[in-house]
């Protein structure tokens, strides 16, 4: 029996005993309801006050039985309450230790600061990539139930504090997303994160236009405004409805029949320095290679079959989710090896 059910059972039992005591005094002694309640309370709790009225022989026998059962019930309720409180605290401590251990073993993970509407949607999209490990930092305790329900690794605290970022493993992190509600908080967060990990890729949210330059100066690699992105998206839906509908399909995180993905080619991959025609990508995975981006940012659209796949290139491909995952295992063997541990 769980502690919560144990406590509920004891409370119900105590109410039954209390009701029996009240009914007994009213029926046996003929007392009114208030006197019966008072006598039952002082009897069960054994406070030692005198009787309300003189009792008959049957009433005294009933009182003795009520004292025995009442004390036993009181001890039962007390033990259930202690167990409920202790087990809840232990469960909370053990759960936090388990989370801390998992976070401590992470490497090349993503840190999402803020689990509001934007942060939660970001994490849902990250889930489409099984090798992307996430740690969420959230200051608002009211969002902890959401984090636990979603199965997130999380840190409760201020994301702009060095101690909190270190607890989230910022020294070993790959990406940090500053999605706090206020621009000033994001600026301070980016400054702190950049000092702790100079090589970290930082994406920041900006509400006002003037905050974008400050965030870039603070060390953010990219700054995005939800309002600007939303306005551009609305314009594209008006001007290019079919294109945007298609893009919605390929970028939906919950679809498996068609997706578009960019995959970095690890230099240790078996396909590094191999021509597309010899890679077997089309034959094995039935994928369409849309473009290949070089390390310096040069983009080759619709590459020919004689194009050589090089280490640190980024391949942009489209196809089914399972086929893309199979290609990722080949192009990014180190990431998948780390994920499988």
Mean pLDDT of 105-127: 89
Contacts of 79 (CB under 8 A, 6+ apart): 10
CA 314/CA 302 separation, integer angstroms: 13
Give the pLDDT confidence of 218-269 residue by residue, as tens digits.
Answer: 999 999 888 777 788 788 888 888 877 877 776 766 666 778 888 889 988 9
Give the pLDDT confidence of 139-176 residue by residue, as tens digits.
Answer: 998 898 898 888 888 988 899 899 999 999 999 999 99
Give the pLDDT confidence of 13-65 residue by residue, as tens digits.
Answer: 878 888 888 888 888 888 888 888 888 888 777 776 667 777 888 888 888 88
Taking a C-beta distance cutoff of 8 angstroms, is the pair 135, 106 a contact? yes
Contacts of 295 (CB under 8 A, 6+ apart): 312, 313
What burial class does residue 257 get, using C-beta atoms within 10 Å of its C-beta: 0-12 exposed, 13-18 middle, 19+ buried?
Answer: exposed
Does the pLDDT of residue 76 top 70, yes or no? yes
Task: Kindly indicate the confidence band of residue 339, based on its pLDDT and cuts at 50, 70 and 90.
Answer: very low
What is the chain's alpha carbon radius of gyration, rounded to the nearest angstrom? 32
Give the H or E element holding residue 203: strand 201-205
Which one-letter DSSP state was computed for residue 171?
Answer: G
Give the pLDDT confidence of 298-312 residue by residue, as tens digits.
Answer: 899 989 888 999 989
Contacts of 203 (CB under 8 A, 6+ apart): 175, 176, 177, 178, 220, 221, 222, 223, 224
Which one-letter DSSP state was computed for residue 143?
Answer: G
Q: Which domains are delineated in the chain?
A: 3-102 (1.10.287.70), 106-224 (3.40.50.720), 256-340 (3.30.70.1450)
CA 247/CA 292 separation, integer angstroms: 19
Percentage of the chain beyond pLDDT 70 is 89
């Amino acid at each position: 029996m769980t502690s919560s059910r144990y406590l509920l059972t004891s409370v119900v039992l105590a109410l039954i005993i209390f009701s029996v005591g009240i009914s007994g005094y009213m029926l046996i002694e003929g007392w009114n309801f208030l006197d019966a309640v008072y006598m039952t309370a002082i009897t069960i709790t054994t406070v030692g006050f005198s009787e309300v009225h003189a009792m008959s022989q049957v009433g005294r026998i009933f009182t003795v039985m009520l004292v025995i059962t009442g004390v036993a019930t009181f001890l039962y309720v007390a033990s259930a309450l202690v167990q409920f409180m202790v087990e809840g605290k232990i469960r909370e401590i053990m759960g936090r230790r388990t989370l801390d251990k998992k976070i401590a073993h992470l490497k090349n993970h993503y840190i999402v600061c803020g689990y509001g509407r934007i942060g939660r949607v970001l994490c849902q999209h990250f889930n489409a990539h099984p090798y992307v490990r996430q740690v969420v930092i959230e200051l608002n305790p009211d969002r902890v139930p959401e984090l636990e329900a979603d199965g997130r690794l999380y840190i409760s605290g201020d994301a702009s504090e060095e101690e909190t970022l270190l607890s989230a493993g910022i020294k070993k992190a790959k990406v940090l997303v500053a999605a706090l509600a206020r621009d000033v908080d994001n600026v301070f967060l980016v400054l702190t994160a950049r000092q702790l990990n100079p090589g970290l890729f930082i994406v920041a949210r900006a509400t006002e236009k003037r905050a974008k330059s400050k965030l870039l100066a603070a060390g953010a690699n990219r700054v995005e405004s939800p309002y600007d992105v939303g306005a551009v998206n609305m314009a594209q839906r008006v001007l290019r409805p079919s294109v945007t509908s298609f893009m919605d399909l390929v970028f939906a995180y919950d679809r498996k029949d068609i997706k578009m993905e960019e995959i970095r080619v690890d230099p240790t991959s078996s396909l590094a320095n191999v021509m597309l025609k010899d890679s077997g990508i089309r034959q094995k995975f039935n994928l369409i290679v849309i473009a290949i981006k070089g390390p310096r940012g040069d983009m080759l659209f619709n590459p020919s079959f004689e194009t050589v796949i090089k280490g640190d290139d980024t391949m942009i491909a489209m196809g089914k989710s399972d086929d893309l995952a199979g290609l990722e295992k080949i192009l990014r063997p180190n990431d998948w090896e780390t994920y499988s541990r």
